[in-house]
Amino acid sequence: MEPTNRHAVRALMQVLVLTLLLTPATVWAAPGSQRSSDNLDPETVAVVQNAVESVGQRYRPTVLPAQSGIDDEASGSAESLPVVGMTEHNASGITITTPENWEVAEVGFGTVFNISDPDTGFLGMVEDSGNADEFPGIIALLLFEEQADMIVREIDENGTVLEINRLRTAQDLPLLEILFAANVEGVDMLGSLGLVSSGLNLYVLFGLAPEEQWPFVEDGVALMTETIRLDDELLTLTTAAEGDLRHTVAGEEYSLTVPSGWQVGDTDDSDLSVVLVDPDVEHVGALGIQLEAGFLEDTDLEALLGATADEMGPETVDLLMPQIIEALDIGVGDFEIDDALSDIFPAEQGFSARFVGTADLDDLVMPVVFFVNLREDGFAGLIVFGDIDSTLETQNLYTGILDSVTWE
């Protein structure tokens, strides 16, 4: 697998920033006006009703604090400004809902929509970032969260991340929302970067407005982000909605059990061919198997499979790690292991190993926990991206997934 990298992140942000820099500063000086909540479009009310309620609970028309995090108690009790009638826009299999007075233009070539509101100076866009370098978009979601400060500083070197929220769209797709403050062309701005993944692909919804105008557009931005809908052929995640789900990997010779409430999707990568997402989008796992004979050339596999937990010491971790990384071709670059947190232990079939550390994804360092289940005829590996402590607290879930893997 070829990992996504810092250059890909910066390339995306440069597109957004270029659009901002090409916009006359006079646009951002336009006065705002309070909206009327009358005449909601009856055809879209059913679709957006839940999102409207959610947005109304979360957003208030007050100036956001300059420090990291948003203090709900300090923001007062004023209700958010109402949103006017809605209009739907569809292009490239993507549907968004916006206030009817916003100007929306279809673009193409990656940028699906350009969006503006002349009354407030709001600018936005919707990007289809696709599946760059065969790197699943759902993993990129966590990379963006990990590097949120760096992303905002691409807009303004003194920009500030105000809040990060993990949400779900109306289609139950994982959504990461980054709220930020930045100065663009001498104008203090507030903005939102929404990242939605269908599993395989990543979609970016970006919005920015002068700080004093943000209260007039924030409901519309949140509504557009949370009600984005993808055509069925773009959806690659399946939810285990009614208990544990048995999933057979398309084009492969193995299957696994997905825990209840989790999501699973196949990838385009032959080495790590499945992604798994927990219900809270705290962690994303990428799973692959290796069945070729002799994949651990320097190891007495028969002796290792018969070893007890006491016989599997640190030297075994040091011996196995580079061989497994090379065999699975996971493309994590340099992997720095934390010996104190890594371990090898017996499993239902063969034995399992846990390697904890940081992976260098082409200069983007990410915390990673790598679980492996090794058997006589091959092994299954599960790379978990996300917070290490919470991953270790739920280790039984991940080792259970590996134990459930069967292959022909």
Q: Please say if the pLDDT value at position 286 is more than 60.
A: yes
Report the amino acid identity of residue 130: G
Whether 181 and 150 map to the same domain: the answer is yes
**What is the C-alpha separation between 178 and 162, in angstroms, rounded?**
8
| 108, 192: one domain | yes
Min mean pLDDT across 66-70, 114-118, 182-186, 235-239 is at 66-70
Residue 76 has pLDDT above 60, yes or no: no
Are 280 and 223 found together in one domain?
Answer: no
| 215 and 274 both lie in a single domain | no
pLDDT computed for residue 363 by the predictor: 63
356 and 388 part of one domain: yes
Residue 120 lies in a domain: yes
Tens digits of per-residue pLDDT, 145-180?
A: 888 898 888 888 899 999 999 999 989 999 999 999
* Helices and strands counted in the chain (H then E): 9, 22
Per-residue pLDDT reduced to its tens digit, 294-351: 555 555 555 555 555 555 566 666 666 666 666 555 545 567 778 788 777 777 877 7
> How many distinct structural domains can be found in the chain?
2
Rounded CA-CA distance 59/218 in Å is 7
- What value does the mean pLDDT of the chain take? 74
Measured distance CA(188)–CA(178) in Å, rounded: 17
Among 11-20, 244-253, 343-352, 396-405, the range of highest mean pLDDT: 396-405
In a shared domain, residues 228 and 261: no
At 97, which CATH number?
3.40.1000.10
Report the sign of the C-alpha dihedral through residues 20, 22, 27, 28, in that order: positive
Q: Is residue 59 part of a domain?
A: yes
Rounded to whole angstroms, the Cα distance separating 100 from 85 reads 6
Domain co-membership, 327 together with 380: yes
> What is the radius of gyration, based on Cα positions, of the chain?
23
Answer yes or no: do 179 and 56 share one domain: yes
**More confident of the two residues 61 and 309:** 309
Residues 218 and 242 in one domain: no
Distance (Å) of CA 265 to CA 71, 141, 284: 36, 15, 11
Q: Which of 173, 201, 234 is the last residue of a domain?
A: 234
Residue 324's nearest CA partner among 361, 359, 360, 374 is 374
What pLDDT sits at residue 123?
A: 92
* Top-ranked range on mean pLDDT: pick from 10-14, 26-30, 326-330, 362-366: 362-366
Confirm whether 348 is domain-assigned.
yes
On the question of pLDDT at 56 being above 60, the answer is: no
Report the distance separating Cα 73 and Cα 75, nearest Å.
5
Q: Residues 327, 219: one domain?
A: no
Query: Is 343 found in the same domain as 258?
Result: yes
pLDDT digit string, tens, across residues 261-284: 999 999 887 778 899 999 988 889
Residue 302 lies in a domain: yes
pLDDT number for residue 365: 73
Q: What is the pLDDT of residue 305?
A: 57
| Residue 1 maps to a domain | no
Residue 405 DSSP one-character state: -
The single residue listed with the structure tokens 């028969």 is 302
Point out the domain boundary residue: 216, 234, 252: 234
Residue 145 inside a domain? The answer is yes
User: Which pLDDT score, from 0 to 100, does residue 310 have?
Assistant: 56
Q: Is the pTM of this model over 0.85?
A: no
Q: Based on the fold, state whether residues 94 and 117 are members of the same structural domain.
A: yes
Helix (H, G, I), strand (E, B) or coil at 135: coil
CA–CA separation, 122 and 44 (whole Å): 23
For residues 210 and 121, is the Cβ–Cβ distance under 8 A?
Answer: yes
Q: Do the Cβ atoms of 234 and 93 come closer than 8 Å?
A: yes
Q: pLDDT tens across 193-220, in order?
A: 999 999 888 999 999 999 999 999 999 9
State residue 57's pLDDT score. Answer: 37
Containing structural domain, residue 384 = 238-407
The band of 55, judged by pLDDT with boundaries at 50, 70 and 90, is very low
